[in-house]
Structure 1
Amino acid sequence: MPSNHHPRFEELLEAGRARRKHCPRSALSVCGLAAERDPVAIVQQSSEGRVPALVPLRYARMAASPFAFFRGLAMVQAADLASQPHSGILVQACGDAHLMNYGFFASPERNLLFDICDFDETHQAPWEWDVKRLATSLVLAARTLGLSDATGRGIVEAATGTYRRRMNEYARMSQMDVWYSKVSFDQLCASAHNDHLREQLDRLGQRARNRTHQRLLPKITADTGARLQLRDTPPTLFHLHKPSSLLPEDDQWLADGLADPALQPMMDDYLSTLKEDRALLVRRFNRVDIAFKVVGVGSVGTRCLVILLQDDYDQPLFLQLKEARPSVLERFTQPCVHGHQGKRVVFGQRLMQAASDVFLGWTTGPAGRHFYVRQLRDMKASADLENFDAETLRAYGQACAWTLARAHAKSGGQAAVIAGYMGNSGKFSDALSRYALLYADQVESDFEVFSRAIADGVLPVDASVDIGPFGSKRPSIKASVEDAG
């Protein structure tokens, strides 16, 4: 029996409508700010514990534009969202759902899917916090592309309207159907409304299919004669035990390279978090080399390693060990219940994504640092926003909203409650578009404060790398894909 014919369905819808008494939909337009709010102090606080030599690179990437600043500092919006009214309907949230954190990747069956691809900040939180971060990123992206605020508002209304409609669809599906739902490459292409968008999707799809371990091998490795070795390209890729290392002397925890006893316990710990068949598969590979790899914008300076492994036929497997710090949402919601930040990331990713990396696991490193592990690259590609026009950005925003609705429906199990809260009118979209424009103004104001701190020498910047307006090393599409891991 379809759920919309079931009395429980109406009860859940009504429960969502009842939440409007606690937080009217119009209240979602409120752009409140956290008390004692100092963007520069928050930036400096967020840099604590990072590799000191890489902090100037992080600031350089954030200084590219207000969009890049927004992308690199989820902590500010998290604090502001916590000071605003919210629905009280909780899901496993992404925590950093801006539009650069979506893209294509391969399912375990080698099918190309479109989904959220970054879960460093995942945590339980009100569902609309993710939607607000996506909406704000759309306005900032539109402004970065030189589009008017009227166009930006229309783009947000289209995205939030898609989120509402898709959530209504998921609300009428069984839990099993929601669990197995996905947004595939073919589905996106079928829903494309114009030739330009279809061309963009075709290019992204082809690029994703070409981004395999075999194709990555000659790009980031060199043959030394004795064995393959990851190629040093500081500051973005360097060995920890060579003169090119940017780690401070008191942080050389792999100073002896692969012989260091610190690595094997990490790998053993990681393998214990995998299913037995997948752990057995990893054990069929031999470790060849390990290096430090800088990724993204907000993650720059956190400890991120890439391990090159090869099987008996010299075929490669690249694993990425990425430091997992507490979610920016944790201090405003509830403590992490997983006992390990890497496990938190893995749990959130498995719960929200339609399909997850077969090698996804977690481990603990020296000094008690938490890491999660995934493949460095497996048919992964994200959008080249610099080549977007208004119509393409609008369609891409709708694709992101679609997959965000699917992720929330799966992770929270409350699609009908959320659908009931949003209703069938345009009130939700109107409130979110007004919020996104107001908060984009606030981001630009914060960016000016951040830029003055750089100009005054308060925040050091490494200007040696050419940074595009969206915070990625040029050429933008290569940086966005490779940095995403």
Structure 2
Amino acid sequence: MALPVDQLAAVPESADRTDALTILGDQDRTRLAELVPVRHDRMAATAFTFFRGAAAVMASDLAATPNSGIVTTLCGDAHLSNFGLFRSPERTMVFDLNDFDETHPGPFEWDVKRLAASMTIASQANGFDEKSVRTAARHAAKNYRKTMVASAEKTALECWYARVDADAVVAEIGDRFDTASSAATQKNLEKARHRDSVQALEKLCDFDLTGAHIKSDPPLLVPAAEIMPDMGADQLAAAFTAGFERYRETLPSHVAALFSQYSFIEAARKVVGVGSVGTRCWIALFGGSHVGDPLFLQMKEASASVLAQYVPGYEYENQAVRVIDGQRLLQASSDILLGWVQQLAFEGQQNTDFYVRQLRDGKGSVVVEALAPEGMKYYGRLCGEVLAQAHARTGARAEIAAYLADAGKSFDNAIADFAVEYSRINEGDHSRLVAAIADGSISADALEKSS
């Protein structure tokens, strides 16, 4: 029997919750110890940055509430800042989901709840009144529902090829809103068009007579030679070259032929994001046939999804392959250089699954902090549409659509109710983190990001 839709509004009782700081502490123990204080500082900045870094906390909370029982492949961390702009292989700008570290099977509404809660918390951070806060979440759920129901009338191929054109998005924002948010978004799109390996070379490297060298800005950007000072330059290069040769073998043959035209130069450890801080993340610079032909790849650690312990029955021998498979299924258009490698991590000498992708390929995002209520409402509808397009590529499309067709507007209201109540839980967790930092029981280190 299908779950009554009004039960989707339920949030966990305090007594049923696992302590949020305990969950974060468990994650910290798997991360690079010297970077954990940076993570704490970034999460403590606002209730929204806390939410971004607390996917594991929300996964625990979602597992403690009733669910639809309709399981599909989830993004796993579908908050509004994990939607953004990037270039397709055809070189057009698209707007889509762009983070799949937590992808995993689970009840379809968990992605919708994560999105709606993020709309609520971001709206509160922007100073919106209570009605506008709830409206942003409700519109995200509404457009998810409408797009998902409409997908039932489409062919599987039509659903597979559905995507949102980024230029159309920015044009619509410009037509609808003569505000700072429109100007900021259009400026960000223009910047995104030029975010590529050439731009990364200029931003992340210094130059001397021997060529380009990745800058040293510890602990945010640390060349490999500084992390492994006991290894000679040739030995270090050989280790990375061998790893990327194994990565090349995971690429389609025609893409492998492209990658073979590039030679490894050097690598560095880079701190990225909020929730990812402390995981092992490397960037690697490659050179092509001439000076103006650089390639930057990112090699990012993939550990078990935060959803894994709450959705039993799914085993993954390689977490990087889990991330890649989820991305290729849910994303309208994926990086052609997406691949993976199992590598002995230099820090701690532990075997690690890494997925590999281009560091910058037209990536950009809407300036959420600049959005006024009308802009946030539109952005919620846009993200809801994109999330539904992602879920519609899965085999659960018909079942989700049927459930939502029966639920109607009650689904939108239940998700909005959940989002508003969950924002209060998140605020309390954030306040506890701030208090723990203030009394010294949790360490934090504020660092300016310079690269």
Fold match by TM threshold 0.5: yes
Alignment match, 1:233: 217
SS in 2 for 1:295: coil
SS in 1 for 2:101: coil
Alignment match, 1:353: 331
More deviation, 230-239/130-139: 230-239
* Kept in 1: contact 2:343–2:354 (CA 8 A): yes
Give the superposed CA RMSD: 1.8
Alignment match, 2:413: 430
Which of 403, 406, 412 lines up with 1:421 in the alignment?
A: 403
Query: Does the alignment pair 1:288 with 2:269?
Result: no
More deviation, 364-373/198-207: 198-207
Whole-Å separation in 1 of the counterparts to 2:387 and 2:118? 14
Judged with a 3 Å threshold, the aligned counterparts in structure 2 of structure 1 residues 281 and 258 are, in CA distance, closer, same or farther, namely farther
Alignment match, 2:192: 208
* Kept in 1: contact 2:126–2:369 (CA 8 A): yes
Whole-Å separation in 2 of the counterparts to 1:386 and 1:460? 27
Alignment match, 2:369: 386
Query: Does the alignment pair 1:259 with 2:235?
Result: yes
Query: Does the alignment pair 1:310 with 2:287?
Result: yes
Percent same amino acid among aligned pairs? 38
Alignment match, 1:219: 203
Whole-Å separation in 1 of the counterparts to 2:439 and 2:200? 41
- CA deviation map 1:373-401 (0-9, x unaligned): 00000000012222211111111111111
Alignment match, 2:253: 276
Whole-Å separation in 2 of the counterparts to 1:28 and 1:380? 34
Alignment match, 2:305: 327
Whole-Å separation in 2 of the counterparts to 1:87 and 1:225? 62
- Displacement of 1:146 in angstroms is 1.0
Whole-Å separation in 2 of the counterparts to 1:398 and 1:258? 52
SS in 2 for 1:113: strand
- Displacement of 1:199 in angstroms is 3.8
SS in 2 for 1:22: coil
**TM-score between both structures, scaled by the size of structure 1:** 0.87
**TM-score between both structures, scaled by the size of structure 2:** 0.93
Alignment match, 1:121: 102
Whole-Å separation in 2 of the counterparts to 1:329 and 1:455? 31
Which of 340, 355, 361 lines up with 1:362 in the alignment?
A: 340
- Displacement of 1:336 in angstroms is 4.6
Judged with a 3 Å threshold, the aligned counterparts in structure 2 of structure 1 residues 335 and 372 are, in CA distance, closer, same or farther, namely farther
SS in 2 for 1:235: coil
Structure 2 portions without partners, runs of 5+: 345-349
Alignment match, 2:71: 90
- CA deviation map 1:159-180 (0-9, x unaligned): 1111111112212110011111
- Displacement of 1:40 in angstroms is 1.5
Which of 72, 84, 89 lines up with 1:108 in the alignment?
A: 89
Whole-Å separation in 1 of the counterparts to 2:294 and 2:259? 11
SS in 1 for 2:224: coil
SS in 2 for 1:156: helix
Structure 2 letter corresponding to 1:440 = S
Whole-Å separation in 2 of the counterparts to 1:271 and 1:308? 15
Query: Does the alignment pair 1:31 with 2:11?
Result: yes
Query: Does the alignment pair 1:297 with 2:279?
Result: no
Judged with a 3 Å threshold, the aligned counterparts in structure 2 of structure 1 residues 257 and 456 are, in CA distance, closer, same or farther, namely farther
Query: Does the alignment pair 1:47 with 2:32?
Result: no
- CA deviation map 1:149-200 (0-9, x unaligned): 2211011111111111111221211001111111111342465433446544
SS in 1 for 2:86: strand
* Kept in 2: contact 1:139–1:149 (CA 8 A): no
- Displacement of 1:301 in angstroms is 0.8
Whole-Å separation in 1 of the counterparts to 2:318 and 2:234? 25
- Report how many residues are paired: 439
Structure 2 letter corresponding to 1:102 = F
- Displacement of 1:259 in angstroms is 2.4
